Amino acid sequence: NAETSSLKQSSEYVNNDLKNMHKEINSLFTTSKPELKEISEYYFDGSGKSIRPLIICSMARALNVHHHLSLNPNEPIEYNKVLLDSQKKIALIAEMIHVASLIHDDIVDASNLRRGKPSVNSKWGSHKAVLAGDYILAISSKCLAQLGNTRVVETLSTVLEDLVKGELMQFGTKENENERFEHYSVKTYRKTASLIANSCKAVAILLVEKNGESTKLSAKNEELVQQAFECGKNIGIAFQLIDDVLDFTSHSDKLGKPGAGADLRLGLATAPVLFAASKYPELNAMIMRRFANDGDVLKAFNFVIKSDGIKETRFLAKKYCENACTILNKLKPTTSSNNANAAQATPSDVRRYPHDAP
Ligand code: FPP
Ligand code: MG
Ligand code: MG
């Protein structure tokens, strides 16, 4: 039907947006140090899912079409020109921040498998891994500054702050069982959802602010920025909840990283465990000692499996997805009649959206 073909067409545009993403990222690593270049490029090889760039480009396109239709309801849309160069840069920057944080995370977690291959720390050692992560972050910061929009710089800098705070929060839990879920939720936002939420916010800011001019946003525009943020936040939390489920239900050969209880082995009590603890209170003491006693990991794993923890976590993730859909449904739809004017997108066709013209 029309909706399905419109959806298919939209996903083709986003696929095109992302076609050369890794090449473009790798071209930013202009260092003359061959090993630093090799490590920096290591994960930008198509081995990742690129889920963040996909969400960010999709969000940017949805916002741009909505904005265009709000301003010029009768003017046809050239879909191949909808995505702004600056918005696409946000997708690249977000992927770079993500990869830098994974390189550091694998050092913290002493993990030797990532994206189906040896992790950077296991291949080159932790010292070089720290520095390569820093380098990728430095290049992403330069790229961000080049967009020339202070609010966007601040928005994505907040992500870096959140990532560090979220990672640190993971080392602690709350004595009080009622506070534990709140602690986990804040941690989940900071560690995972903040990057997606703030990147969605950044593409919205780039749409409604003209080329970084610090204009005071109109109420409608500011609402759109907040909607983008909230939608990204809900998607991000749902994503992490399912990631936490997969740690119980999937194996490393499928995940491309350690699975089947890896979080428990790191001492982490994620949503499935917290839900399971209401049925099996024996889990509370294990949570507090971070599953450190002999046999704790296996016992906790089995409690989770025989509880409703997995089911409840999936249910919660679905709720967050529904919240995201509710927000998205407030945007004007990309209808098939709008799509009738669409030309096939080619990567070189990614140009400025008319309202962002200098
Ligand atoms: C993966 O989590 C890790 C993160 C999403 C963030 C890690 C953040 C830091 C190490 C702070 C430093 C930040 C920067 C920007 C350099 P996980 O260990 O739960 O997931 P995994 O199973 O993929 O390893
Ligand atoms: Mg970790
Ligand atoms: Mg990890």
Residues 6+ apart with CB under 8 A from 28: 139, 142, 143
Centre of ligand 1 from the C-alpha of residue 104, in Å: 7
Q: Please give the pLDDT value at position 81.
A: 79
Name the residue of 96, 141, 163, 164 whose CB sits within 8 Å of the most ligand 1 atoms, as the mutation to test its pocket.
163
Going from the C-alpha of 19 to that of each of 16, 25, 88, 108, 228, the distances in angstroms are 5, 12, 12, 32, 24
Give the single-character DSSP code of 116: T
Q: How many CA atoms lie within 13 A of 38 on its CB side?
A: 7
Judge if ipTM > 0.95: yes
Q: Please give the pLDDT value at position 215.
A: 58
Residues with CB under 5 A from ligand 3 (ion): 105, 109
Can you give the pTM of this predicted structure? Answer: 0.89
CA distance 60 to 54: 10
CA distance 326 to 93: 27
- CA-nearest of 268, 247, 261, 263 to 301 is 261
Q: Please give the pLDDT value at position 294.
A: 92
Tell me which residue has its CA closest to atom 15 in ligand 1. 101
Q: Which two tokens stand for residue 62?
A: 């949805």
Q: Please give the pLDDT value at position 74.
A: 83
Cβ-contact 81, 353 below 8 angstroms: yes
Strands 117-118 and 113-114: antiparallel
The one-letter amino acid code at 357 reads A
Name the residue of 99, 105, 184 whose CB sits within 8 Å of the most ligand 1 atoms, as the mutation to test its pocket.
105
Q: Which two tokens stand for residue 317?
A: 């993730």
Tell me which residue has its CA closest to atom 17 in ligand 1. 105
CA distance 80 to 58: 13
H-helix or E-strand spanning residue 113: strand 113-114
Give the residue ranges of the chain where pLDDT is below 70. Answer: 1-8, 210-217, 252-259, 335-358
CA distance 356 to 126: 43
Q: How many CA atoms lie within 13 A of 176 on its CB side?
A: 4
Going from the C-alpha of 152 to that of each of 22, 64, 161, 207, 336, the distances in angstroms are 22, 17, 15, 11, 32
Centre of ligand 1 from the C-alpha of residue 136, in Å: 15
Residues 6+ apart with CB under 8 A from 22: 44, 45, 46
Of the listed ligands, the closest to the CA of 48 is 1
Name the residue of 126, 167, 171 whose CB sits within 8 Å of the most ligand 1 atoms, as the mutation to test its pocket.
167
Around ligand 1, the residues with Cβ closer than 6 Å are 97, 100-101, 104-105, 108-109, 111, 133, 137, 160, 163-164, 167, 191-192, 257
Q: Please give the pLDDT value at position 217.
A: 67
Q: Please give the pLDDT value at position 2.
A: 65
